[in-house]
Amino acid sequence: MSFAARMRQFTSDFAERFKALWQKRWFKLVAIIIGAMLFAWFLLWLLVIRNLPSAEALVDYQPELPTMVRGYDGEITQSYARERRVQLQYIDYPDKLIEAYLSAEDKTFFDHGGLDYPGLAGAVFDYVTKIGSGQRARGGSTITQQVAKNLLIGDEYSIDRKLKEALLAYRIEDALTKEQILELYLNEIFLGRSAYGVQAAARAYFDKDVGDLELHEMAYLAILPKGPSNYRPENNEARAIERRNWALGEMTDNGFISAAQRDAARGQPLGTVRSKSDGFTRVGGYFIEEVRRQLIEKYGEDSEDSEHGIYSGGLWVRTSLRPDIQVETTKALRDGLRRYARGKGWSGPINTIEIDEQWASRLRSTFIGLDYSNWRVAVVVSKEGRTATIGFTNGETGTLPSYAASLRGKKGTAFNMMKPGDIIAVAPDGNNWTLRNIPEISGGMVAQNPYNGRIYAMQGGFDSRISSFNRATQAERQPGSTIKPFVYATALDQGMTPATKLVDDTFCVYQSATLGRKCFRNFGNARGAGSQTLRWGLEQSRNLMTVRAANDAGMENVVKTIARMDIGEYEPYLAFALGAGDTTVMKMTNAYSMLVNHGRELKPSVIDYVQDRNGKVIFRTDSRDCAGCNMPKYDGKPMPRLNPVGKQLMNPMTAYQVVHMLEGVVLRGTAQNLRDLDRPMFGKTGTSSGPTNVWFVGGTPDVVAGVYMGYDQPRNMGSYAQGGSLAAPIFKQFARAAFKDMQITPFRAPRGIRMVRIDRKTGRRVYGAWPGDDPKAAVIWEAFKPETEPRRTIRKEEIEQTAKKKAAPKAQRRVERQQQSDSDFLQDQGGIY
C-alpha cells in the first residue's frame, strides 16, 4: 500500500474513533475544558504576556540618578535632579532597616517565589467587596511585585496591571537574587518629600545617612511606601506615630527585635526635621547655572536625550569653582551695587503674583529666593492702615509696619506704592519685618586663572534666583577704556615702544564729505599735555594719545588684534579704539588673562572633567596626554612636561610690555586706589559713553578678574560715575579678601625681554641712577624688545635739575593741570564712520 493510501486510511480511522468518543458525555466535557484553557491562555498571551517587558533588563538596570557638581577641591556644591535619589548597594543598608521594611511590607519575602498567596487571596476578596464603591482595594503586593510595578509597568489601577505584575514577579525571581531585588526596591521606592530610595528619604526626613538612623526612625521610613502623604509629620503626626509603632510591633512578632527594644523605640518622638539639607553648601548660583547650560548642550536633560542626561545620568562633574573666591566675588559685587543704589530710593517690587488662598504655593512656584545676609523673599498679602501683612513660601505670615518701608519711590514712599501681590525683600526687625531694596542697577564679575583659562568665580547679578540673566556672559556692553591696552599692544607690534612719545593734543580726522571733520578730546576737556610717552598715555588713559596711537598703527590692525583676542568683531573706526564696541566681561577678563599668559590663547572653562555614574571620564577640558606622568617609579630622567595649550595670538614680548605698562596704572594711574594692596598688580579702569557702564579688569600673576556695573537697559549713571570710583573699589574689596593668603609673585617676563632704566617723563635711557620704591620716582624699569631700547640718554644730574624746576609752586600747579587724570570714558562724539 502506498504512503498516500496509508494516510487516507489513518485519517478515516481517526475520524471514526473521534466520532465515537464525541458521543460520550465525559469526552465532550474534557474537550471543552481543555479548549477553554487553551483559549484563555491564548487571550492571556495576546493581551498580557506578549507585551511584558523583559525581567532580564533589571539585571543591568540603571536608576535615574542626579548629577553631582563638585568644586575644584572635590567638595559637592550642587546637584541637578528631578528625583532625589542616592544609589546604594545591598550591603550598605543596615540589617535592622531591611528587617523593618520586611516586617511592614513583606515578611515572607525570603520564602516566597514572587507571590504571597494568602496576601493575594485577601487582596482579591477586598477588591470584590469594593467593586462599585469607588474605593481602592489594598494592594497585597510583595516587594518583588512592587519592583515590577515601579520599574517596569507603572502604577495603573487595573486588573490587567495586577496580572502583569504577578507574572513579572515570577520572572524577576528567576532573573535576580533576593538581595538584588531588595537593593532595587530600597533604591527606587518613593517615600515622599521628593525622595526616591531610602537614603534620600533618610536625608529628607531626618537629615541623616541610613547608617546613622535609630530604630524608631527606621520603622517610620518603613511605613511610608503604603502612602507617604498619609503619614506626613506636618499634618498627620499622631497617625504616623501609631503606624510606626505598629511596624515596631511587627518587627517584634517576626523576631527581629526584642520587646524591650520595641518599647524603647515606641517611647521616642517622631523626630523628623522640618526642612532637609543636601549635605553641602550651595554657592555660585550663576556659575552653577552656566555649568548646567553647558552640560545640557552636551548631553541633554533626560535619558531620552542620551544615557548621560544631566537629570538622570548620575554624572559626577568636577568644575573649576573655588567657593572661597566665589563668596568674595558675590559679596564684592553685591556691596558695590548696594553702595551705588544707596540714596536712590526704592526700586520697586521684584515681581507680582495673584493673591488668593493659594498665595504661598504661588510664591513658591516663582522660585524667587535670596541668599544675601538675613534677607527673605515675601509677598504682600494685605494692607490695612499703616500695616501690611506679608507672607512667606512656607505659609507663615508677618507684619511690615509703614515706618519700616519708608524708602522713597517714584510716587511716594515704598509703603504707599506697594500693593497686595507684590513680591518684596525683607529682613527681620524684632517681632516685625523691615523692607530691603534690591538694587535696580546690576553688573557682572568673573575671576579666572590666567594660565589655563579656568574660571574660579562668576557672578552675573545680585542673585540668580531673582534674575537668571547672566550679565557675566550674556550682557553685551561697551568696555570703554579697558579696550585701550589692545590698542597700545597693536602700536607696540607696529614698531613703537613704551618710551615712544606721542602728542597729547587735539586730534582731528576728515571723515567724509557728508560727515565732515571729526575732532576727539580728552575727558572734561582736559588740556593736552604735549609730547608724552606711550606708558604715560596708558597710565593716565588719555583719549587723544590713544586715538593717535590707533591711527598711526592702523585701525585695521587694531581691530584685528581685538578680534584675535576674542573681544569682538569691529569695523576699523577710531571710536572703537576708545571702547565703543560691545563685548562681555567674560571676554574682557579672558583677553587680559591672555596678556598675562604671554599672548597665548585661552578658552574660558567652568568644567574640568565629567565622569559617568561608574567613574569613567567621558569629557575632559584639558585633553593633553602626559607621557610618563603615571610611571610607577621615577626613572631619573627629566620630569614630564605638558605642551602649552592654544595658539600664540600675540607676540609674547608685546603682551608682557602691555602688562608691565598696566602695572603703572595701579602704581600711579587711574587705579591708584589699589596700590595699598601691596602686591604686583596690573589693571585698567573703563567708563563707557554716557556714562552708562563702569569697568575694571586686572589682577595678579595668579588671578585675573573683571567687573562691570550698569543698568540692564543702559542709561546715564550720573556724571560722577567712573571706573576708578565705582568698579575699581568692587575689585579692591574682592582682592583684599581673595588674595589675602596667596603668595606674592611678580609677573613673569618672556625670553628676550630687556629691562632698561629710563626716565619716566622723557623716556630716555638713564645711567647713574636706579629705580626706587617710590611709585612716582623719576627712574623706572621699562620693558623693551631686543634692539628697541632708547638711544638717547639722560644723566642723573639732568633728572635732579628737572625735579627742582617742578618743585616751584607755580610750575607744580601747571604740571598738575597738564596731567589731569582722564576718567577713561569715550565722549559721545558720534565716532568716525
Active site residue ranges: 105, 481
Using DSSP, state whether 624 is helix, strand or coil. Answer: coil
Per the listing, cell 579696550 goes with: 483
In this structure, what DSSP letter does residue 341 have? H
- Pairing of β 316-319 and β 351-352: unpaired
- Distance of alpha carbon 576 from alpha carbon 313, whole angstroms: 46
Radius of gyration of the chain (CA): 38
In this structure, what DSSP letter does residue 634 have? -
Query: What order of strands is seen across the sheet that includes strand 316-319?
Result: 76-80, 67-70, 316-319, 607-611, 617-620
The total of other beta-carbon atoms located within 10 Å of residue 805's CB is 10
- Pairing of β 387-391 and β 351-352: unpaired
- Distance of alpha carbon 548 from alpha carbon 714, whole angstroms: 29
DSSP notation for 4-15: HHHHHHHHHHHH
HEC string of 267-326 equals CCCCCCCCCCCCCCCCCCHHHHHHHHHHHHHHHCCCCCCCCCCCCCECCEEEECCCHHHH
Where does residue 615 fall: left (phi above 0), alpha (psi -120 to 50 degrees), or beta otherwise?
left
**Nearest one of 476, 477, 502, 478 to 488, comparing CA atoms:** 502
Q: Which residues contact 590 (CB under 8 A, 6 or more apart)?
A: 448, 453, 566, 602, 603, 604
CB 674 within 8 A of CB 724: no
Give the long-range contacts of residues 304-312, CB within 8 A, separation 24 or more: 308/610, 308/612, 308/618, 310/67, 310/80, 311/64, 311/66, 311/67, 311/80, 311/81, 311/82, 312/64, 312/65, 312/82
**Nearest one of 443, 630, 666, 655 to 564, comparing CA atoms:** 655
Give the three cell numbers for residue 804.
627742582
**One-letter amino acid for residue 500 of the chain:** T
**Nearest one of 392, 388, 418 to 400, comparing CA atoms:** 388
CA 799 to chain centre: 55
If you count DSSP H runs as helices and E runs as strands, how many of each does the chain have, helices first?
Answer: 24, 28
Per the listing, cell 496591571 goes with: 161
**Nearest one of 733, 731, 802 to 766, comparing CA atoms:** 802
Per the listing, cell 554624572 goes with: 315
Using DSSP, state whether 536 is helix, strand or coil. Answer: helix
CB 605 within 8 A of CB 455: yes
Using DSSP, state whether 423 is helix, strand or coil. Answer: strand
Q: Which residues contact 831 (CB under 8 A, 6 or more apart)?
A: 518, 573, 574, 575, 576, 580
188, β-bridge pairs? none
CB 589 within 8 A of CB 640: no
425, β-bridge pairs? 377, 436
Q: Which residues contact 259 (CB under 8 A, 6 or more apart)?
A: 252
Which H or E run contains 519? Answer: strand 516-520
Per the listing, cell 502623604 goes with: 229
**Nearest one of 301, 207, 765, 228 to 499, comparing CA atoms:** 765
**One-letter amino acid for residue 362 of the chain:** R
